[in-house]
Amino acid sequence: MGTITFKGLCTNCEKETEFERVVNKEELNVKGELVTIEVERSRCKNCGDEVLDPTKNPDSFALAYREYRKKHGLLQPEDIRDWRAAHHLTQAELARLLGLGTATLNRYENGALQNESHERLLRLAMEPSNLLILIEKSEQLFSEDRKRRLLIALRESEENPCSVDRTILINFGTLEISELNGYKKLDLSKLYNAILFFAKDGVLKTKLNKLLFYSDFKHFKEYSISITGLEYAHLPYGPTPNNYEIYYASLASKKLVEFIEETYPGGYTGEVIKSMKDPDLNVFSVGELRIMASVKEDFKNFTATKIRDYSHKEVGYKETKKGESISYSYANRLNY
């Protein structure tokens, strides 16, 4: 990909010149930890003066905080804003419910880095049952009518299994598209139906995680985009979807899959996931279906141990450490 150039006014040269986009890496200290960020600037090709584009890089520390949150699994500002808005709460109302200052919550929603205790507090409040209790026990925070309407909406949400999915999307579906999720936001419809597709006859959880990995990475290799928008991490049993237990639990809560414990020779016990409903294949493109079908066929005779060992040979697995995310950029070097 060539260098992007454009015309612009250079304040140093005091005339219109040609600029080029340059990306520099910077290290900033966040809570005693060095965080590397990429900052895009415009460089005058005449004098070499570099100008920061505030529309692309509003604040270096804001970028560093975002990277820090991503690395440590913390809520991003938009996660908090979207969740609060989804429950029709104002900043002042939520702040009072949690015992925070409105100014503090406002700072978090606008990019300030939250401390650990406030992160835990926000996470706990995001559980519908916990928020329900907070509102029920609140006194003089809401008018009686306002409190009644909030409680009705929350109780309906708790009774609806899809509320789990809303929580998932608030926490994981608003992450920026990048090479870590295959340049696609989390698509629960495709993820759930892919799981139902692979688990139709029952499949060990370890193997299912690899089938999802190979489907997403092979599709990215061919089309430069993932199928599900999942992020994968380097774990002892091979490349594994981040937060996979939550997705399987959500399907189980809707009675779309069941968990079956099976014992194998040597006393090994494994958890099999089995679909209780046929997948809706209409949610997939022809290319996605072709790749999923080929992955299922090509690995049909692989045991969980064999596919685990096979995945350990992937360059993306070998070049990352335990717990690190595996970039989709490794898809071009996929063994499969």
Q: Tell me, what's the pLDDT at 1?
A: 38
Give the pLDDT band of residue 312 (cuts 50, 70, 90): very high
Give the pLDDT band of residue 174 (cuts 50, 70, 90): low
The per-residue pLDDT for range 86-100, each reduced to its tens digit, is 788 899 999 999 999
* Whole-model pTM over 0.75: no
Give the pLDDT band of residue 64 (cuts 50, 70, 90): confident
| 84-92 contacts, C-beta under 8 A, 24 or more apart | 84/109, 86/166, 86/170, 87/131, 87/150, 87/153, 87/154, 88/150, 88/153, 89/150
Q: Tell me, what's the pLDDT at 175?
A: 67
Domain ranges of the chain: 5-63, 77-160, 188-333
Mean pLDDT within 265-292 = 87
The CA distance from 319 to 330, in Å, is 10
Give the pLDDT band of residue 267 (cuts 50, 70, 90): low
The CA distance from 272 to 158, in Å, is 28
In 85-205, the DSSP E strands lie at 203-204
Sign of the C-alpha dihedral computed for residues 84, 85, 91 and 93 taken in this order: negative
Give the pLDDT band of residue 176 (cuts 50, 70, 90): confident
What is the identity of the amino acid at 176? E
Structure tokens at 162: 């899809």
Closest CA to 44 of 68, 15, 72: 15
CB 94 within 8 A of CB 84: yes
Q: Tell me, what's the pLDDT at 158?
A: 60
| DSSP for residue 325 | B
Q: Say yes or no to pLDDT of 170 above 80.
A: no
Q: Say yes or no to pLDDT of 2 above 70.
A: no
DSSP letters, 248-299, are: HHHHHHTTSEEEEEEEETTTEEEEEEEESS---GGGS-HHHHHHHHHHHHHT
